Amino acid sequence: MSKKTVIENGWALFLDRDGVINKRIPDGYVKNPDAFEFIPGVTEALALLAVYFNPIVVVTNQQGIGRGIMSTEQLELVHHKMLNEVSKKGGRIDAVFFSPDIRNSNSFTRKPAVGLGLKARKQFPSIDFKKSIMAGDTFTDILFGHRLGMLTALIGMDKDVANKSADILDYSFPDLLAFAEFVKINFYVKD
């Protein structure tokens, strides 16, 4: 990229949670704050990204609620811990939107359906999806961003996801910190 992308009038950043911000529990759920573990470099990344994006929102499928494995209150405790730790390190997450619905429910809020994006725009009317990036680690994250007209960034080195997303994927990074470093080099905030 030879010319920096100019960010003016606030670009929005949409982030998936599990596998992007915190370590994913294989075949399991982050049911309490003690089970929530940041991926190394994430809090530093969010501090960098806070300079470039407003708002920064998390959009996450949390079918553990729909399956009765955890409660909304437990999820809120997990998110409280996440938000506090990010803030302590100089970063910012402006809101968390989640879908409690189970896979195959045809829910409008469960990614890759676009409901969580529309909820975010309702809360933050300045969001322009054409001036937004969706960063996630699964095909459903990338498809969600693509359906809303966002730029898409794959976080993680899952070759299957990269191959499946190839036609709709704009960027790919090993982790959120690498994405943040890319933004720092290639994006320019216009005063």
Nearby residues of 88 by Cβ (< 8 Å), 6 or more positions away = 43
Is 34 annotated in the active site? no
Contact 129, 148 (CB under 8 A): yes
Is 18 annotated in the active site? yes
- For residue 155, the model assigns a pLDDT of 98
- For residue 116, the model assigns a pLDDT of 98
Instruction: List the chain pLDDT tens, one digit each, 191 residues.
Output: 345 666 666 799 999 999 999 999 988 899 999 999 999 999 999 999 999 999 999 999 999 999 999 999 999 999 999 999 999 999 999 999 999 999 888 899 999 999 999 999 999 999 999 999 999 999 999 999 999 999 999 999 889 999 999 999 999 999 999 999 999 988 877 76
- For residue 190, the model assigns a pLDDT of 74
N-to-C CA span, the chain = 22
Where are the chain's structural domains? 10-186
3-state SS of 13-50? EEECCECCCECCCCCCCCCCHHHCCECCCHHHHHHHHC
Smallest Cα–Cα separation from 46: which of 88, 93, 97? 93
What is the architecture, at CATH level 2, of domain 10-186? 3-Layer(aba) Sandwich (3.40)
- For residue 2, the model assigns a pLDDT of 43
**pTM here?**
0.94
